[in-house]
Amino acid sequence: MTERVVLAYSGGLDTSVAIGWIAEATGAEVVAVAVDVGQGGEDMNVIRQRALDCGAVEAYVADARDEFAAEYCMPALKANGLYLDRYPLVSALSRPVIVKHLVRAARQFGATTVAHGCTGKGNDQVRFEVATTSLAPELKSIAPVRDLALTREKAIDYAEKHDLPIATTKRNPFSIDQNVWGRAVETGFLEDIWNEPTKDVYSYTDDPTFPPVADEVVITFERGVPVALDGVAVTPLEAIQEMNRRAGAQGVGRIDIVEDRLVGIKSREIYEAPGAVALIAAHQELENVTLEREQARFKRFVEQRWAELVYDGMWFSPLKKNLDTFVDETQKYVSGDIRMVLHGGRATVTGRRSEAALYDFNLATYDEGDTFDQSQAKGFIEIYGLSAKLAAARDEKFGNGVDFGVGTL
């Protein structure tokens, strides 16, 4: 029986050419796998037919938008997933769901190898291949650009020579990856980190310099997941899409960052994630109201490690699964409403309410009705600072006290 390879297929030039390129280089039949995670563009049925016209023996097409939103974006929201405290893991989140469908197709069509279009210098090669071996250790992985010397010039020549139904003349100056959670842009003149992004870099967001009238939205959460906007029930996908529209119109979610890639190099990336940025800001504020202090402090450490694992392609790792369990437990009381104003590139929380809030007005107020017993504060401070006081006394005894300098006392 002829070997089969499942190829992560986008419908673009490189992956269209890769179908025949892989077949010629390996002798294997190619099954194209196209997964819709909200990237927009062409109809998936058109992409399916193109894959067959380019030589694929089978074409597997999946609408994974709801799956991606509910099972990947929502865990990221509950974890406030931000790599380097800024990047909401746009591309990193989509890779494991794509790989899940690649593995499913491999088993359905009897393939032994998974192929992807990544280069040898990026993070995605790691994400695709580690996720593949985590779900199906028996599968092998190849990357035509990295392993089979498929350059863009060769791709254009191959497409023209074989009369493939794909455009070969127009080339975007940027490398772009997008899905419902956001959009990532790199390469071209952006590789000079002094260069300012031009207007054509952006697509998901309008220029925040000249915003429309401020937009107020009330986001309702249940156990850390948005379930309504302005009182209208929404699915996770609908929540993201609507916040993309509303926050994007106000220029919210533009990120320009030099980040540390897993492969050891620094890379300049431009991200647009209006819905993700606004939803994370709202979720963080609701957690400020509902999480106990020590729980919240520890969760911040967990969030950082969670984001690093996902960025590094370890979505299916044991530690990531363990951290998911902790994060889910913290969301038990993260329910309530956040009022937010979207305007001029900012998503500003202006109100919060929750039946599970730990905020007690009578304890917090300085006015009539104050129930906080301030007389207990003095003793608390003495006990709280006792260990530091004893250490300071020892330092003084051995001549290691604080030097205040001459004439300062």
131 lies in the same domain as 61? yes
Q: Kindly report, residue by residue over 173-210, the tens digit of the pLDDT.
A: 788 999 999 999 998 899 999 999 999 999 999 999 99
204 lies in the same domain as 140? no
Tell me the residue type at 98. I
- Tell whether 353 is in a known binding site: no
pTM comes to 0.94
Task: Supply the pLDDT for residue 319.
Answer: 98
**In this structure, what CATH number is given to the domain that contains residue 223?**
3.90.1260.10
39 lies in the same domain as 135? yes
26 lies in the same domain as 159? yes
**Range list of H helices, 62-205:** 65-68, 74-78, 90-109, 124-135, 144-147, 152-161
Q: Are 276 and 252 in contact (CB under 8 A)?
A: no
**In this structure, what CATH number is given to the domain that contains residue 110?**
3.40.50.620
Phi, psi (degrees; rounded to nearest 5) at 77 = -65, -45
Task: Supply the pLDDT for residue 278.
Answer: 98
Task: Supply the pLDDT for residue 337.
Answer: 98
- Tell whether 147 is in a known binding site: no
Residue 366 lies in a domain: no
Residue 337 lies in a domain: yes
Q: Which pair of structure tokens corresponds to residue 286?
A: 């609701």
Pick from 173, 205, 235: which residue ends a domain? 173
Buried b (16+ CB within 10 A) or exposed e, 284-295: bbbbebbbeeee
216 lies in the same domain as 109? no
Domain that holds residue 197: 176-353
Please identify every residue annotated as catalytic. Answer: 14, 95, 124, 175
**Residue 402 CB coordination number (10 Å):** 8
- Tell whether 336 is in a known binding site: no
- By CB atoms closer than 10 A (0-12, 13-18, 19+), residue 398 is exposed
Q: What is the pLDDT along the chain (409 residues), one digit of tens a residue?
A: 799 999 999 999 999 999 999 999 999 999 999 999 999 888 999 999 999 999 999 999 999 999 999 999 999 999 999 999 999 999 999 999 999 999 999 999 999 999 999 988 889 999 999 999 999 999 999 999 999 888 888 988 999 999 998 876 656 678 899 999 999 999 889 999 999 999 999 999 999 999 999 999 999 999 999 999 999 999 999 999 999 999 999 999 999 999 999 999 999 999 999 999 999 999 999 999 999 999 999 999 999 999 999 999 999 999 999 999 999 999 999 999 999 999 999 999 999 999 999 999 898 888 888 899 899 999 999 999 999 999 999 999 999 998 888 654 4
78 lies in the same domain as 67? yes
The count of structural domains within the chain is 2
349 lies in the same domain as 297? yes
CA distance 394 to 381: 20
CA distance 180 to 240: 7
What is the chain's alpha carbon radius of gyration, rounded to the nearest angstrom? 26
Task: Supply the pLDDT for residue 168.
Answer: 67
Residue 127 lies in a domain: yes
111 lies in the same domain as 237? no
Task: Supply the pLDDT for residue 152.
Answer: 82
161 lies in the same domain as 208? no
Pick from 152, 173, 194: which residue ends a domain? 173
Residue 147 lies in a domain: yes
Residue 387 lies in a domain: no
Pairing of strands 232-233, 254-260: unpaired
- Tell whether 358 is in a known binding site: no
Opening angle at CA 214, ends 208 and 219, nearest 5: 105
Residue 192 lies in a domain: yes
Residue 18 lies in a domain: yes
Task: Supply the pLDDT for residue 166.
Answer: 84
- Tell whether 16 is in a known binding site: yes
CA distance 156 to 152: 6
100 lies in the same domain as 183? no
- Tell whether 9 is in a known binding site: yes
Pick from 173, 195, 211: which residue ends a domain? 173
180 lies in the same domain as 207? yes
Please name which of 247, 228, 55 lies closest in space to residue 158, comparing C-alpha atoms.
Answer: 55
**What is the torsion angle, in degrees rounded to the nearest 10, for the CA atoms of residue 357, residue 358, residue 363 and residue 364?**
-70
13 lies in the same domain as 40? yes
CA distance 153 to 169: 11
Residue 364 lies in a domain: no
